[in-house]
Amino acid sequence: MNYPIEYVRNRFPALKRTYKGKTVVYLDGPGGSQTVVEAINAGRDYMMNGGANLHGAFPTSVETMEKISEAKDYVAALFNGKAEEVAFGGNATTMMFHAARAVAKTWKEGDEILLTELEHHSNIDPWKKEAEDKNVVVKYIPLDTKTLTLDLSSLDHLLTRNTKFVAIGLASNCIGTINDVKTVSDAAKKVGAVVAVDAVHGIPHFYVDREELGIDMLFSSVYKMFGPHVGLAMIKKELFDQLEPYKIMPAPDYTPDKLEIGTQNHEGIVGVTEAVRFISDLGKGNTLQEKIISGYDAIENYEASLAKFVRKELGKIKELTLYQAEESVKKTPTVAFRVEGITPNEFTSRMCEEASVFIADGHFYAYRLAEKLGIVESGSFIRAGISVYNTMDEMKRFVAGVQDIIKNK
Ligand SMILES: Cc1ncc(COP(=O)(O)O)c(C=O)c1O
């Protein structure tokens, strides 16, 4: 099936924006994607038609509860989980921070947790802070700076019978490497550890089957996936029921609401449904889940063709260093690089001013990666994050922009 790029682009009003007389090329999806029009309208309609708090006997309250419940159904289908395992919140970091306090309640001195060196710090610091408070040992699956993948060769030694918890990301938000979550979760299960996964950089690009990957706790953010700024957590029911989050009265005692403190962002949550529906509308099938899986297939194939072109063209430029794992390693269409003789920040400013290409620079909180590569002091990376709405023409504009800047350094 041909990817319906015109249909997709028409769903994103922000793509009409111009800068310096040219249509903007958005290449900062990993920092936050553009928002699909149905999600924008859903939030607006919610407020225009009358919003309300929960548990009222009047229509706007009843409708609010129905809409939140629908959003949870969609998230359940998105990850092959259950609606009663889904909690919403501000963003992924807040959800992890909050969940960390709860999951760490049973940790004690001498216990161990295992993290990785290829994480966004969101998926390190919440767990690490709890570990420090409890004198729990923190270990890391090392990043191999040559292969730009996690080195799993010592996994069996890193995991011991004291390991209580393992956290890993689906994919690097900086270099795109997709981690072998299944191997790590299988090994973690053997020692009885809880497995938490940061799905933030995965969900705009590929289907995530929570069951298949053996994930106990999953965290993500909908603004990276064509929707509004809403964070989410999906936690296996048995584990969720046992967790005792630090909560205050405006949160009930039961799963999953006990992780939702205070009144939620209702106008954002209604957009979550639309963000998932956007993906399912790109696919075929009889059930929502089948459509989501098929929609992700279409997205993956399309994005891979754009990323292949970009990686190949950038690879030809001798002044440019690409940071990417070898071809056999699965990657999201997120490309990190540096250019000799120009800082990443100068480079991205010029891309914006001279080519109207919006592209970001820095370490993107994949700090350990940048630190191990020794490039933090010199500005870390330039990152091109390709998304569902980008076109081959935009990729050509981007590559031409890179070549022009290098020619006129
Ligand atoms: C891989 C990854 N994890 C976590 C986060 C943090 O997500 P949030 O901004 O929703 O807290 C980000 C944000 O850039 C990310 O890319």
258 alpha carbon to ligand 1 midpoint, in Å? 22
Q: Which domains does the chain have, with CATH numbers?
A: 5-36+288-407 (3.90.1150.10), 40-280 (3.40.640.10)
Whether the Cβ atoms of residue 307 and residue 331 lie closer than 8 Å to each other: yes
Ligand 1-lining residues (CB < 6 angstroms)? 30, 91-93, 120, 122-123, 169, 173, 198, 200-201, 221, 231
User: Could you report the average pLDDT of every consecutive run of 10 residues in the chain (409 residues)?
Assistant: 93 98 98 98 98 96 98 98 98 97 96 98 98 97 98 97 98 98 98 98 98 98 98 98 88 92 96 98 98 98 98 98 98 98 98 98 98 98 98 98 95
Distance from the alpha carbon of residue 67 to the mean position of ligand 1, in angstroms: 25
**Residue 232 alpha carbon to ligand 1 centre in Å:** 11
Amino acid at 124: I
Kindly give the number of the ligand 1 atom that is closest to the alpha carbon of 30. Answer: 16
Give the pLDDT of residue 1: 61
Please report, for residues 50, 93, 97, the alpha-carbon distance to residue 232 in angstroms, rounded to integers and kept in the order given. 24, 10, 12
CA 272-273-275 angle, 5° bins:
65
Nearest CA to ligand 1 atom 14: 31
Which residue, judged by its Cα, is nearest atom 13 of ligand 1? 31
CA 226 to chain centre: 11
Which ligand 1 atom sits nearest the alpha carbon of residue 169?
1
The confidence score (pLDDT) of residue 150 equals 98
pLDDT at 250: 78
**What is the Å distance from ligand 1's center to 168 Cα?**
13
Closest CA to 118 of 344, 331, 347: 331
Question: What pLDDT, on a 0 to 100 scale, did the predictor assign at position 247?
Answer: 80
What tokens were used for 35? 């928002």
In this predicted structure, what is the pLDDT of residue 107?
A: 98
